[in-house]
Amino acid sequence: MEFIDSIFLGFSALVGWKPIVVIVAGVIVGILAGAMPGLSPSTAVALLVPFSYTMTPGLALILLTSIYIASNYGGSITAVLINTPGTPSAAVTAMDGYPLTQQGKAGKGLGTALIASTIGGAVGVVILILFAVPLARIALKFSPADYFALALFGLATVASMGRGNVLKALVAILFGLLIKTIGIDPISGVSRFTFGSDALYDGFTLIPALIGLFAVSVVFAKVESWTGLDRALDKIDNKLPSFTEFMKIKMTILRSSIIGTIIGIFPGAGATIAAFISYDVSKRASKEPDMFGQGSLEGVAAAEGANSSSVGGALVPLLALGIPGSATDAVLLGAFMLHDLVPGPLLFRDNPEIVYGIFAALIVANIIMLFLGLYGNRMFIKVVSVPDAILYPLILAIAVIGSFAVSSSMFDVAACIGFGIVGWIFKRYGYPVAPVVLGIVLGNMVEENFRRAVIMDGYGAFFRDKLALIVLLLALLSFVYPLFKQWRERKKSS
């Protein structure tokens, strides 16, 4: 009864016009910020923190968490329509979302992303409500060896991104890992591969690299093959997935939502890793794995279900123990302190109306996001109807602005263009670019936790820690099996 009373307490905090207006405003701002490359969820929340200072603590946190959950969906809009992921995790969505747009099925791509995001967000919130405290305590027991094994398992998903050539995908991910070694050594503080340049001390920022690899590379490829003729636009439609199509991907959405929530609970893992792992698992479980990367609704659903549900997962350690699970949660932690609140077990005891108000607001925000997305899809799809002579310069302009917005640095703009050239070359010779992003995302997590584990317990840590050993074996199997399958198919054909 106490739990039910707490839920009623949470929804009672939303009674009145102010909380609803705040949630609607938060969802709109979140969608727009997520769709704009360069404005990640953490940036969007950070920009609105000062505006929340004059609000009551409850309203302020409702606003910020509504922005948080909506921005993860917003990133899928530009990812699907123009192959420009608005958020890092939307890079996985673009792998199947953009091919759908190229096939004239932009409506199905956006509709699948919206439905999967809504369900994923709801599942994440439900798990957050039911298991916040015990799940956070389990996550805190993870050792550096466990985190290294988890990151390596994430890297093993590269095997599913090679589209028939695992070795090319491996080369791409090694390139991403190599890029991540540039800058200051996370353990010793020594500068690496900076060549005396101050601009490289912090390495390459993820957002400019992401925009360059996915968006700018498309512009360069279009310029190379430019004929002066526009695309045939009569095929573009705004039809949503049919009920039959939705039923086919329902298990993918549910599975991805659970995976995203679990990955989100681990501090530092985040939505991007959740999306990559979920995509790999869904491809292996699919009856049509060859469709992944070619415009699969399952691929879009896997990515969006995971990245949206990771929001609920990431809030688990923040609310239960005061430990931020992601960059956005670190910003939220600052917002809590700005309003003289300390996240943790005492928050549940002393301010239950705020905690459960956040829970209720996240559920309502998901519902509002669904309605806004359904009505907004028709407007979003009009972007695809813009002639090539306008669209591609527009994409390039958005890429430049988005890269500059990260830290107001022209170096980031130059890096974005440079990664665009790299992405164009990779695509030209059949190398996938998604593994490069995966390598950049997981590079620090792999290196730091490997070295910490060795410093603390020696190399035997990976064998003595049972959980780490099991995950490492799964990662090995995950990588080797596609190679074996590829070898067997070649043997049969010969």
Spatial distance between the Cα atoms of 217 and 94, rounded to a whole number of angstroms: 13
Residue 440 contacts residue 172 (beta carbons within 8 Å): no
Is the pLDDT higher at 122 or at 319? Answer: 122
pLDDT of residue 436: 82
Spatial distance between the Cα atoms of 34 and 173, rounded to a whole number of angstroms: 25
pLDDT at 253 over 60: yes
pLDDT of residue 163: 56
**Cα torsion at 391, 397, 402, 403 (round to 10°)?**
130
pLDDT at 309 over 80: yes
Q: What is the mean pLDDT of the chain?
A: 78
pLDDT at 227 over 60: no
The CA–CA distances, whole Å, from 76 to 92, 107, 110, 158, 463 equal 9, 12, 7, 21, 40
Residues 6+ apart with CB under 8 A from 143: 453, 456, 461, 465, 468
Arithmetic mean of pLDDT, 215-233 = 67
Look at 29-33, 139-143, 307-311, 394-398 and tell me which has the smallest mean pLDDT.
139-143
**Cα torsion at 158, 295, 102, 37 (round to 10°)?**
-50
Highest mean pLDDT among 82-96, 147-161, 292-306 belongs to 292-306
Residues of the chain with pLDDT > 70, as a percent, come to: 85
Spatial distance between the Cα atoms of 300 and 309, rounded to a whole number of angstroms: 14
pLDDT at 360 over 80: yes
Output phi, psi for 164, to 5 deg: 95, -10
Spatial distance between the Cα atoms of 428 and 426, rounded to a whole number of angstroms: 5
Is the pLDDT higher at 22 or at 385? Answer: 22
Q: pLDDT (tens digit, 9 = 90+) per residue, 379-409?
A: 776 665 666 677 778 778 877 887 787 677 8
Residues 6+ apart with CB under 8 A from 293: 95, 96, 99, 161, 163, 299, 432
pLDDT of residue 235: 54
pLDDT of residue 169: 80
Arithmetic mean of pLDDT, 177-198 = 81
pLDDT category of residue 438 using cuts at 50, 70 and 90 = confident
Spatial distance between the Cα atoms of 333 and 327, rounded to a whole number of angstroms: 10
pLDDT of residue 232: 46
pLDDT of residue 1: 45
pLDDT of residue 193: 80
Residue 436 contacts residue 175 (beta carbons within 8 Å): yes
Residues 6+ apart with CB under 8 A from 203: 179, 180, 182, 183, 184
The pTM for the full model equals 0.72
Output phi, psi for 322, to 5 deg: 75, 20
DSSP string, 305-320: HHHHHHHHHHHHHHHH
pLDDT category of residue 332 using cuts at 50, 70 and 90 = confident
Helix (H, G, I), strand (E, B) or coil at 412: helix
Q: For residue 191, give the H/E element and its range.
A: strand 191-192
pLDDT of residue 453: 86
pLDDT at 304 over 70: yes
Integer-rounded Cα radius of gyration of the chain: 22
pLDDT of residue 234: 46
Buried b (16+ CB within 10 A) or exposed e, 181-199: ebbeeeeeeebeebeeeee
Q: Which domain holds residue 395?
A: 2-493
Arithmetic mean of pLDDT, 452-473 = 83
pLDDT of residue 233: 45
pLDDT at 366 over 80: yes
Residues 6+ apart with CB under 8 A from 436: 172, 173, 175, 176, 179, 209, 213, 422, 423, 426
CA 114, 119, 123 angle in degrees (round to 5)? 145
pLDDT at 448 over 70: yes
| Domains: count for the chain | 1
pLDDT category of residue 39 using cuts at 50, 70 and 90 = low
Look at 41-55, 81-95, 274-288 and tell me which has the smallest mean pLDDT.
41-55
Arithmetic mean of pLDDT, 303-327 = 77
| 271: number of Cβ within 10 Å | 30
Look at 30-39, 69-78, 367-376, 468-477 and tell me which has the smallest mean pLDDT.
30-39
Spatial distance between the Cα atoms of 73 and 309, rounded to a whole number of angstroms: 11
Is the pLDDT higher at 490 or at 299? Answer: 299
Arithmetic mean of pLDDT, 257-275 = 79
Arithmetic mean of pLDDT, 6-32 = 79
DSSP string, 46-108: HHHTGGGTTS-HHHHHHHHHHHHHHHHHHHHHHHHHHS--SSTTHHHHHHHHHHHHHTT-HHH
Q: pLDDT (tens digit, 9 = 90+) per residue, 46-61?
A: 777 777 777 888 888 8
